[in-house]
Amino acid sequence: MLSTTEGNIFLPSRTSLINLLRRVPFHTGINESILKLIKAAVDSMAPKDRYCQIMFDEMALEPSLAFNTRKDIIIGFQDNGDEQTSNLFADKAMVFMARGICRKWKQVIEYYLNEGGMKKDILAVKIKEIVRAARSIGLKIVAIICGQASANISAIKQLYCETEQIYRRNKLENRNFGFEMTAKK
């Protein structure tokens, strides 16, 4: 809790902050604990405030390893949230965030660690997963925004092609620019 006395701001100590963060279950993949907290907030939002966009992009990391004594695991290897890490050193983090459109809010929902970047096939699956997860807690996704990395563009094209194939199978014309999941554009 912030308190002020004559213009000074007193913050918790570094040790207090670290102890607080240790209680938050951070891991790769969709974080169910964060989703539950977001759902509680979404349930109290006005319907228009539930509209959001999903943003994702990759950031460079300095490859390194750290041992988490509480979980008895080594952190720093490639990890796509599927309970299977590899022996490749992660040098990229793919981060997915939801951001409100009508109301100002944003929240990281998931992240992944990769060596050399996330591959387009895996990325396309992860996009579908986050859209399903966000919808399941009541968010209304109107856009997906990403950087111009080739894997990002390829994954979006793959999702668009999957949508196009569904339209062809049903002998319909796809007049949309984008992709669909469970009949939602």
pLDDT tens profile 21-44: 677 667 788 878 888 888 999 999
The verdict on residue 139 lying in a domain is yes
Residue 151 lies in a domain: no
Report pLDDT digits (tens) over 169-181: 888 887 777 777 7
Res 54 pLDDT > 90: yes
Structural domain count of the chain: 1
Let me know if residue 16 belongs to a domain: no
Alpha helices in the chain, H assignment, sequence order: 14-22, 32-43, 120-136, 150-169
Mean pLDDT of the chain: 84
Is 20 domain-assigned?
no
- Compare 110 and 8 and report the one with higher pLDDT: 110
181 is a domain residue: no
Domain encompassing residue 96:
28-146
Average pLDDT over residues 126-146: 92
Q: Report yes or no on 158 lying in a domain.
A: no
**114 part of a folded domain:** yes
Residue 135 lies in a domain: yes
Determine the angle formed by the axes of helices 150-169 and 120-136, rounding to 10 degrees: 70
The mean per-residue pLDDT over the stretch 148-177 comes to: 86
Rounded-to-integer distance, Cα 55 and Cα 127, Å: 10
